[in-house]
Structure formats: C-alpha cells, structure tokens
A and B are shown apart, each in its own frame.
Chain A
Amino acid sequence: MATIDSKIPKGPLAQKWTNYKNHQKLVNPANKRKLDIIVVGTGLAGASAAASLGALGFNVLNFCIQDSPRRAHSIAAQGGINAAKNYQNDGDSVYRLFYDTIKGGDYRAREANVYRLAEVSNSIIDQCVAQGVPFAREYGGLLDNRSFGGAQVSRTFYAKGQTGQQLLLGAYSALSRQVNKGTVKLYTRYEMLDVVIIEGRARGIIARNLVTGKIERFFGHAVVIGTGGYGNTYFLSTNAMGSNGSAAMQIYRKGAYFANPCYAQIHPTCIPVHGDIQSKLTLMSESLRNDGRIWVPKKLEDAKAIQEGRKTANDIPDEDRDFYLERRYPAFGNLVPRDVASRAAKERCDKGYGVNNTGLAVYLDFKYAIQRLGADVVAQKYGNLFQMYEKITDENPYEVPMKIFPAIHYTMGGIWVDYELMTSIPGLFAIGEANFSDHGANRLGASALMQGLADGYFVLPYTIQNYLADQIQVARMSTDLPEFVEAEKAVQDKINKLMSIRGKRSVDSIHKELGHVMWEYVGMGRTKEGLEIAMKKLKEIKKEFWSNVFIPGEANTLNTELEKALRLSDFLEIGYLMAIDGYNRNESCGGHFREEFQTEEGEALRQDDQYSYVACWKYTGENSDPELLKEPLDYEETERKTRNYKN
C-alpha cells in the first residue's frame, strides 16, 4: 500500500511556514525564464498564481474555458474575504482565525495548512488594496469589516456584495500586466482534456480549442490545476454553468488521489427551486445573515395557509414566528456555520413548516433591520443583493421577507495535495477549491476567497520552487514525444466514441437524472441504504449515458453539446466517488451528514476514534472500485470537541 506523506515541516505550529521558507530550495532569476509552468484556470487561485509566477520571471501558460480570464466563477462570490487583521480591536488574531477555521471544518482539516492560511491572510488584504480593489471603508477612511458565520469577531473585508468580483478583477489586472510583459501567455476558450506524464512527472497537458475543435499539446516543467470544485455534479447548484470537475478527474485517473469527495457544502441561503426547466440556483450572500432574521411560522396551520397562498409572511404576528436559529443556537444565532444553518432549515421544512408552494423554503426577514437601522442603511449594505433577488423572484425584500432554501454551493473535497500543494504526481499541483486541503468537512463563509488567493499569491509561488529547483537542467521537451502522442490519441478516441453513440437522450436530460439521484441520496442527509441505492443508480445512469447519449454536429469544430458531454462523463464518475466516500465514512461531520450518526438534538456526531483521517481515493481502473488510503489527522494545538454554537 502506498504511504501518504503530507510533508508537514517540523517545529511548533506557528513556526512551520517560516521554517519551511527559510530552508526550501529556490530558483535563481536566470533559470526562472527557462522554466515553463502551465496554470489551468483563471479564478482567484489560477489568476493569482499565474500573475505571481509571471512576476517572479517564470514562463507561464494560462488556460481558461471562458472567453476571458475575468469570467471565472470566483467572480460570483458575494460576501467577503476573511483576514486576521484585528482592525476592529475585537480580539481577533492569527490563532483565532486558525482555530475558527479548524473548528468550523469539524476537525477534519490539517492543522499546519490552516495555520499557514491564517498567517498569510493579512498579506492578501494588503495586496488587494495595492491593486486598487475598492473595499468598503469607514468615514475615517479606514477599512470596514463585517461578521460571517462561525466567528464571534468581525474579520470579513468586503466590496459591496461583489467582493469576489473585485478580488478577481484585481488578480485579472495583475495577470493582464504580466500578459503585457510577455511572461504569461493566455489561452482563452481552451479546455484541458488530459495531463501528460513523462517518467512519472507531470510534463504537459492536452487541451481542446473550443472554437476550432482542434486538440492541441502543451509542454510545461510543472502543471498547476486551479479549476474549482465539482458542485455541478448535482446539476442544480450555485456554480456557473461551465464549472466542472473534469481536470480533477483527468489527473485522478492518472494517479492523483481524490480526497474526501463526500464533503460538499450546502449553502443555507439560496433562492428556492421554481420548476423543472430551472438551470441553476442563485445564492444570496451569507452576509445577509448579519441583519436578516431567519424564521418559519410557529403554528403548522399558518405554514399550511402560506403554502396554499391563503396567508403571507406579513400576516403572521411576531409572537407566532419561530426564529429557530436564535432559539436553538443563542450564542451564534443567525450566524451559525453553513452546515448547521442548512440542516436546521431542512429539519423545519421536513416537519411541514416550509413557506412556499413546495414547502421547501424559509424566510429571511429584513423587517427588523429596517426598523433598527432604516431602509437607507440596509440598502447601502445589501442594495445590489436585494435588487438581484427582486429581478429573479419579482418580490421586493424591503416589503416582504426573502424566501430561501439550501443548495449545493462548494466542495471541500478535492484533489489531495501535500503541504507544498503538490498532488501525488510529482510536478502536478492543485490550488484553490480544486484541492482539498484547508476547509476540512465544512468551509466557513468568506474563507474560499482567502484560500484561493493565499494559494495563488503567497503559497504556491514559494513551494513550486522547491520542486522546480531540481528541474533547471531539464530542457523544454518536444510535444512529439510518444507520451504526448498517446495522450492525445486517448482523448481523440474518447471524443470519437461519444460522437458515435448517436442515441436518443440529450446531455442535459441525463445530467438532470444524475442530479436528482445525487440530491436525493448524497445530499443534505445521507444513510447507508440511500448510498447503496445511489451507487447502484449511478452505475445505471453511466451505462445509459455511454449507450444512449446524442451529440449533434461535428467534433472538429465548435460544439457545445460535446463540451457538456465530456464534462458529464466525469461528473458521473465524481458522483460515484462521492457516494462511495460517504458510504465509507460512518460518521457525521460538517458537510457530510449521515442520519444514523446524530445526537439527540439532531447535531452531527463525529466518530473521532475511527474517522479522524483524510480519505484519499486512488484510481484502480475503469471498472473497479477505487482503493482507500488514509492520511491520519493529528491535532497538536487544538483539542477536538463537539462543535458548540449554543453558548
């Protein structure tokens, strides 16, 4: 059995990153320009990495599937980014950010990685301000903060409800500057279809030009994957339509471990599903829980009247409203972590208290904030989110409460990486949401932006040099080498096979079927029996896909159905990995809730003695189940406790 070496540096937790940087190998400036680095993805992680590596002097090739790097889905993050600045003098520190993140992750993340994340968080804010990111400010001219779930301090920096957009545009600006300088070459509307391994090391990729349909080969001394998460396995999610897990699955099939696939985050505040032609779900920022109060009616008859359209929210007097988060979690109230808030909403709706025609919604009410602060202040803080809500639902949240329901939003699981962010394939790195490393079983709000930028600006540019220092003698390789030829042929064969099926089902119709199975059996509440059914059904859907999908048009030109089919072929495999991982993990933790494992009050019940490990899945072949390898999680600095958000 392979052993898992996470390469965590020795020494006390707070010294590890400094020690690592003091002793790692570096590449001198003259050698940097001789080294090619492929970065796939232009989101916060990919763009910040490409820009930083370019600025250091490496020769960077940067790929994205959209028409411009600025479109990556990081742009849709609304609420904010955490940092341990303690500008509010409310008791924050690097240690406290570290601790909150470990606890929020339900003690399933690596201590050393999380500490490093908290340590570099402050530099990210400095960097972004220097780029011209217009963070919100106080009247005195200093930066403003707000609170997010799972924290008792205000450490979240924000730019209206468009923080992800502003941070991404900052990284995109830095990237554009490097393109102008010639250190980064952009490949837009290109999709990676495989990684090329030569003598055990990642040496390039095969990518398809989405406009011409041409399959092309690219060499790199190292390859970096920053392609985001796999939430679209569920078909309906808050991810962008193009977000996919294909790059992760390609490298998984080449030997990179896939870690903790079952940890999927279900965000509590999304606009509810309206019908069966719906294509995606829209998130309403967690920041709204700073001032919005979540409730359902206390009385079942009121809930029923609302569901049938006989009553509206404003007909229910305050004393008949059940502010269930404030009731169950007095210390954190409406700002409990996402997994806790989502399950609490499901619990109320399962009991029949839901508030729309499907019974699958709860209220998020701003009446009280408007009474306390005035409509102007509320508009200033959340105006663009309110506008977005109104455009989608045709209801004015200044007058009636928002209706919200949980939806798949983020995946904590991902490609396994060591402390250096290198996968189990030498020379192949994974950053941002694509890796598994920092959020454990549940991610706290405003931490995704922090992690993506930490990886790209301040971690990878160091750790990748420790690898590349040994590669300076390696000359650029020809893409005519047999490994490139074979990888391209395998991609071409797969495309030919898909095109030749010519069945009766559209790609989307099969994807929706997959999504239903995932939401039903691998969603918010999972059981042993349910996961068994899921695995069986997923095999059937996979068979249906490979025998009955229909892709119109030609492969050697622009073909959006072929693009979707290639991605779906990978979602089918990811769904299975998620189910098998959830089946193996006989405990509840964070985003993985097994109904058999809960306390009397319905809280997640971990089994630390048996499952305190990272589940790393190793590919064993097309028709066999993957092999499970375990990376034990040791906690030196924090004591593992049952998470308590009550007092």
Chain B
Amino acid sequence: MEKNINITLKVWRQRGPQEKGAFETHQLENISTESSFLEMLDVLNEKLVKGGQEPVVFDHDCREGICGMCSLYINGHPHGKDTEVTTCQLHMRRFNDGDTITIEPWRSAAFPVIRDLMVDRSAYDKIMQAGGYTSVNTGGIPDANAIPIPKTIADEAMDAASCIGCGACVAACKNGSAMLFVSAKVSQLALLPQGKVEAAKRVKAMIAKMDELGFGNCTNTRACEAECPKGVSISNIARLNREFICAKLKD
C-alpha cells in the first residue's frame, strides 16, 4: 500500500574528474513509496534549486529500464538491491521510513567521474567500434528467411543481446572487468550465422580494445551476473573465452 516515508540521503558530490569529491547529507520528508528512486532524486533537486543551489547531476533518460543511461550505486549495489532492475525502475517501496541511503557513482578506472554521479562510459562505445558488428553495408542483402536459424539459438542470441550497456557489471566487479558486456555482444553475434563469418576477428579485436582501455580481468566471482539488470548470464563469459582461445589457436 502507498505510504509516505522520511529518509536521509548521503550523496556523492564531485565537481570534476580531477577534483576531490565528498558525501553530502540531505533529509527528505514525505516521499511516496509509489514513486521511483529517480523521482525521489527529482524531489531532492527541486528542493536544492529552490534553495538556490545546484542540483545533483546524474545520468537518466528513458526511465523505463531500457536505455541504460541511469547508473547509481545505491547502498553498495549497482542499481540498488532489487533484482533485475535499473535505477530508474527501483521504487521507494523497497525502502523503509528512517532509512539512510548512500548514493555513489559507478567507481571504475575505465569510467571516470564527469560530475557528481555522472560518469564517462565512452569506453564501451570504443569496444563496440573495435568489432561489435557484422561487416555489411546497407542494401544488397538476401531475403531475411534465406538462412533458417533454430529457435533455441535465436532465443539464446536474444538473451545475450538484451544487454543495455549500463556498466553495472563493471561497477560490481572487484577487478573492474567488462567481460560480461563484451561477452554478451560476442555471444550474440557468434551464435548467429550472420555473425559467425567474422567471429574470430571480432573476439580478438574486442578483447584487445577492452584490455587497452584499462578494464580488469574476470576471476569468476559472478558479481556482474548477480547485479546485471537484464540477467545476462556469465555462461556468455565462458563462451567468450572459448571463442577467444579457438581464435588464437588458429593464428
């Protein structure tokens, strides 16, 4: 049932990537449990602006869990403690009256803070640019039904493809590894006949770029899988490793 709660926020404020940050404490009263976590932050920002202060900066856009823009580390969990949700889908009914909530940005060497809770995730784009595609131009394509694909394979590719590129896996990983993100794309394309053509080249290029950008390695703690808002499985990492070893052996 809907009710109103009072909470204390400890929010990370940091002016720029080179500047020193600190937690700032705010009290909020009468927050409806029906509202979303980001709507609660809207209330905080409205309060700050009314008081002549600058709002807390955080990334957000679609607010329905699909764009991957929102990226808050809440009480020690990327996207909060609820399972398979993004920050924007987290609702205040998951909190109790009197709670203190700590909000931090993603913390990873590869994702520098831009301001407050906003980080730079362009490293993900760079990995994609290294090989996260099939090399086809527009047009001149055979009929979509020309190559039948078993339903189980298509479904498995879809599960891997549901990654939203939010970066929670990197934020959750003690090594700051991007293996779940990379493996999701490598798996999707390696499973499908359209992507198999360049599978070996792709896996080598994407892994080389990932290493170059300062992401860590995977030590199978499964923290990424536990925190992934889309439930992407670490079996994809196993497939990534297989694809990588096979590709290297052929060199």
What would 28 A/B residue contacts be, using CB atoms closer than 8 Å? A55-B137, A68-B125, A70-B125, A76-B64, A85-B145, A126-B141, A129-B141, A129-B144, A130-B141, A131-B133, A132-B134, A134-B161, A134-B188, A135-B144, A136-B154, A143-B145, A162-B162, A176-B133, A177-B135, A238-B64, A241-B62, A277-B39, A279-B39, A282-B64, A283-B64, A391-B82, A506-B49, A558-B115
Q: Please report which residues of chain B, range 23-49, place their CB below 8 angstroms from some CB of chain A when the two chains form the complex.
A: 32, 34-36, 38-39, 42-43, 46, 48-49
**Majority secondary structure of chain B interface residues (helix, strand, loop or mixed):** loop
In-complex Cβ contact of A67 among B59, B189, B192 (8 A): B59
Residues in A whose Cβ lies below 8 Å from that of B75: none
| Cβ-defined contact, B43 with A277, below 8 A | yes
User: Considering the chains assembled together, what is the distance between the CA atoms of A562 and B182 in angstroms?
Assistant: 36
**A461 vs chain B, min Cβ distance (A):** 7
Interface size class of A (residues with CB under 8 A): 35 or more
In the bound complex, residues from chain B placing their C-beta under 8 Å from that of A123 are 139, 141
Known contacts: A240-B63, A279-B38. The answer to whether A509 contacts B46 by CB under 8 A is: yes
Q: Which 3 A-B pairs have the closest CB atoms?
A: A141-B148, A173-B133, A134-B158
**Smallest CB-CB separation from A140: which chain B residue?**
B148
Enumerate chain B residues within 8 angstroms of A241, measured Cβ to Cβ: 60-63
Does chain A have a CB within 8 A of B245? no
Type the 1/0 row for A417-458, where 1 means its CB is closer than 8 Å to any CB of B.
000000000000000000000000000000000000000011
CB of A173 within 8 A of CB of B132, answer yes
**Stretch among B5-13, B84-92, B169-177, B214-222 lining the A interface:** B84-92
Q: Could you tell me the distance between the alpha carbons of A128 and B42 in the complex, rounded to whole angstroms?
A: 38
Cα-based distance from A570 to B164 in the complex (angstroms) = 30
| Chain B residues closer than 8 Å to A137, beta-carbon distance | 148-151, 154-155
With known contacts A159-B158, A283-B64, A552–B138 Cβ distance under 8 A: no
Task: For A129, give the chain B residue with the smallest CB separation.
Answer: B144
Whether the Cβ atoms of B139 and A277 lie closer than 8 Å is no
Question: A387 contacts B84, CB within 8 Å?
Answer: yes
On chain B, the residues within 8 Å of A598 by CB distance are: none
Does A125 lie at the interface of the complex (its beta carbon under 8 Å from any beta carbon of B)? Answer: yes
CB of A115 to closest CB in B, whole Å = 19
Q: Which residue of B lies closest to A48 (CB)?
A: B138
- A164-B66, A553-B54 given; name 15 further pairs at CB < 8 Å: A71-B69, A75-B66, A87-B145, A129-B141, A130-B194, A131-B134, A132-B157, A132-B194, A136-B154, A137-B150, A165-B162, A188-B125, A279-B63, A392-B91, A550-B49
Residue numbers of A with Cβ under 8 A of B are 48, 51-52, 55, 66-73, 75-76, 85, 87, 123, 125-132, 134-143, 159-160, 162, 164-166, 169, 172-174, 176-177, 179-180, 186, 188, 211, 238, 240-242, 274-275, 277-280, 282-283, 387-388, 391-392, 394, 457-458, 461, 506, 508-509, 550, 552-553, 558-561
By beta carbon, the residue of chain B nearest A553 is B54
- Of all chain B residues, the one with the shortest Cβ separation from A558 is B115
Given A73-B61, A125-B144, A391-B82, residue A561 in contact with residue B194 (CB < 8 A): no
B91 in contact with A394 (CB, 8 Å): yes
B42 and A279: CB pair below 8 A?
yes
**A-chain residues with CB within 8 Å of residue B162 when the two chains form the complex:** 160, 162, 165
Within the complex, the shortest CB–CB distance from B143 to chain A, in Å, comes to 6
Establish whether residues B52 and A139, one from each chain, have CB atoms under 8 Å apart when the complex forms: no
A73-B62, A392-B89, A506-B50 are contacts. A160–B158 as well, Cβ < 8 Å?
yes
Closest to A508 in B: B46
- Interface pair A67/B122, CB less than 8 Å apart: yes
Point out the residues of chain B lying under 8 angstroms from A282, CB to CB: 63-64
Give which listed residue, B61, B63, B118, B194, contacts A129 with CB less than 8 A.
B194
Contacts of B54 in A (CB 8 A): 552-553, 559, 561
Residues of the B chain whose Cβ atoms lie less than 8 Å from the Cβ of A164: 66
A165 touches B66 (CB 8 A): yes
Query: Given the known A-B contacts A211-B114, A241-B61, A461-B138, are A135 and B67 also in contact in the complex, defined by CB atoms under 8 Å?
Result: no
Q: Are A141 and B55 in contact (CB under 8 A)?
A: no
> Are B138 and A132 in touch, CB under 8 angstroms?
no
Q: What is the CA–CA distance of A127 and B137 in the complex, to the nearest angstrom?
A: 9
Per the CB 8 Å criterion, the residue count for chain B at the interface is: 77
Bound together, the chains give a CA A401 to CA B60 distance in angstroms of 30
A162 to B68, CA, bound (A): 13
* A529–B161 CA distance with the chains assembled, in angstroms: 50
Give A394 Cβ to nearest chain B Cβ, in Å.
6
On whether the beta carbons of B57 and A560 are closer than 8 Å, the reply is yes
Q: Is the CB of B161 within 8 A of A176?
A: no
Q: Is the CB of B122 within 8 A of A68?
A: yes
A51 vs B120: C-alpha distance in the bound complex, in angstroms? 23
Using a CB–CB cutoff of 8 Å, the interface residues on chain B facing chain A are 2, 32, 34-36, 38-39, 42-43, 46, 48-50, 52-55, 57, 59-69, 82, 84-85, 89, 91, 93, 114-115, 118, 120-122, 124-125, 128-139, 141-145, 148-151, 154-155, 157-158, 161-162, 164-165, 188-189, 192, 194-195
A391 touches B89 (CB 8 A): yes
Q: Which residue of chain B has the shortest Cβ distance to A243 in the bound complex? A: B61
Q: A76-B62, A173-B134 are in contact. Are A132 and B69 (CB under 8 A)?
A: no
Q: How far is the CA of A48 from the CA of B137 in the complex (A)?
A: 11
User: In whole angstroms, how far apart are the Cα atoms of A548 and B243 in the complex?
Assistant: 60
CB proximity of B154 to chain A, nearest CB, Å: 4
* Least distance between B208 CB and chain A CB atoms (Å): 13
Contacts of A278 in B (CB 8 A): 35, 39
Residue among B36, B85, B132, B192 making CB contact with A279, cutoff 8 Å: B36
Residues in A with CB closer than 8 Å to B35 are 274-275, 277-278
Contact check, A67 vs B158: say whether CB atoms are below 8 A apart. Answer: no
* Contact partners of B128 in chain A: CB under 8 A: 172-173, 176
Chain A residue at smallest Cβ distance from B128: A176
Question: Chain B's nearest CB lies how many Å from the CB of A122?
Answer: 8
> With A130-B141, A394-B93, A508-B46 known to touch, is A277 a contact of B121 (CB < 8 Å)?
no
Q: Once the chains bind, are B67 and A142 in contact (CB under 8 Å)?
A: no
**Bound Cα distance A211, B143 (Å):** 44
Would A277 and B32 be within 8 Å (CB), given that A125-B144, A141-B150 are in contact?
yes
B178 to chain A, nearest CB (A): 14
Knowing A68-B121, A132-B195, A139-B151 are in contact, say whether A76-B39 is a contact too (CB < 8 A).
Answer: no
A466 to chain B, nearest CB (A): 17
Known interface pairs A130-B134, A134-B154; A67-B120 also in contact (CB < 8 Å): yes
Q: Pick from A131, A275, A461: contact of B34, CB below 8 A.
A: A275
Interchain CB contact under 8 A, B133 and A458: no
Q: Which residues of B contact A143 (CB under 8 A)?
A: 144-145
CB pair B161 A169 closer than 8 Å: yes
With beta carbons under 8 angstroms apart, the residue of B82, B133, B188, B194 that contacts A174 is B133
